[in-house]
A and B are shown apart, each in its own frame.
Chain A
Amino acid sequence: MWSYERRLQHPVNIKTPNAKMAKYIISQFGGPDGELAASMRYLSQRYTMPYREVAGVLTDIGTEELAHMEIVSTIVHQLTRDLTIEEIKAQGFETYFVDHTVALWPQAASGTPFSSTFFQSKGDAITDLHEDMAAEQKARTTYDNILRMVTDEDVADPIRFLRAREIAHYQRFGEALRIVQDKLDSRNFYAFNPEFDRELKLK
């Protein structure tokens, strides 16, 4: 089960609303490389992961991604509160506003709704861990792109924190992949699936 802590993993205190920035930052909430997809990917993959250390990595990173989803959502919320209708129209936010007012709804910057097709849960340890490492890099690239466009230090600071976590997670998934490979038969490094072919699980 999960329990909520009444705090952000990294503080967010934005003084100046700016719906233009919110329009693209929301992609890291509900977009293809966003935090919601990240969390659902790892938390879905863990049940069939045959190695306890690796299931631990998936559980703990999947949980941290929920905290990152909260940080991104908080950034979008603070960038869009206290706006007048004139500001919403002038900042190009009216297409979102008409459907959601200023509530949070998971979508990509393009307006594409969140979808579980953004991630895989394949039931193969090698396949899934490669997906996970790629996902961390894709999210890091997205944060780099956001940092190229953000002009407000109050926004850039938590985005830089989130970017750094993608790098730490990539490292941990790399170690998880090494653990899986060490436990596979060295003559059959990639060919079989330890999540299904159970008798081949251990050396």
Chain B
Amino acid sequence: MTRSREQLMCCITEVSFAIDDVKLYLDTHPCDKDALEYYENYRQLRNEAISEYRDCYGPISSYDVNAENVWTWVTEPWPWEGEC
């Protein structure tokens, strides 16, 4: 089952934020086992969601463009345009 563009972007926003937040905590608590496990869990979820989004709707990162036919980095809406 393929997730819609909105569902997938919403998922990427959520799992990425979990990492953004715990990353700062780990900077000051680098040996916290629970936080390390939390990070690892969300890192996997994020990698899956980013790959699925790239394959269905276009690249999130310019290191990760599927460069077969067209340079899709510039053909999709930019984030500040809204509705994406």
Q: Give the interface of A toward B (CB within 8 A).
A: 3-14, 53, 56-57, 60-61, 64, 70, 73-74, 77-78, 168-169, 172, 175-176, 179
Contact = CB atoms under 8 A, between A and B. Distances in A.
Contact of A13 (B21, B61, B63, B83): B83
A5, A70, A176: residue with the most chain B Cβ atoms closer than 10 Å: A5
Contact of A179 (B21, B28, B62, B83): B28
Given A60-B23, A64-B20, A6 B79 contact: yes
Q: Ordered nearest first, which 3 A-B pairs have the shortest CB separation?
A: A175-B28, A56-B27, A74-B80
Contacts of B27: 53, 56-57, 60, 172, 176
Contacts of A77: 80
Nearest to A154: B82
B83 to A, nearest CB: 6
22 contacts: A3-B63, A6-B59, A6-B60, A6-B73, A6-B76, A7-B13, A7-B79, A8-B80, A10-B13, A12-B80, A57-B28, A60-B24, A64-B20, A64-B24, A70-B79, A70-B80, A74-B80, A74-B82, A78-B82, A168-B24, A172-B24, A176-B27
Nearest to A57: B27
A10 B76 CA distance: 19
Interface residues of chain B: helix, strand, loop or mixed (majority): helix
A64 B30 CA distance: 19
Contacts of A4: 61-62
A5 to B, nearest CB: 5
B76 to A, nearest CB: 7
A170 to B, nearest CB: 11
B13 A11 contact: yes
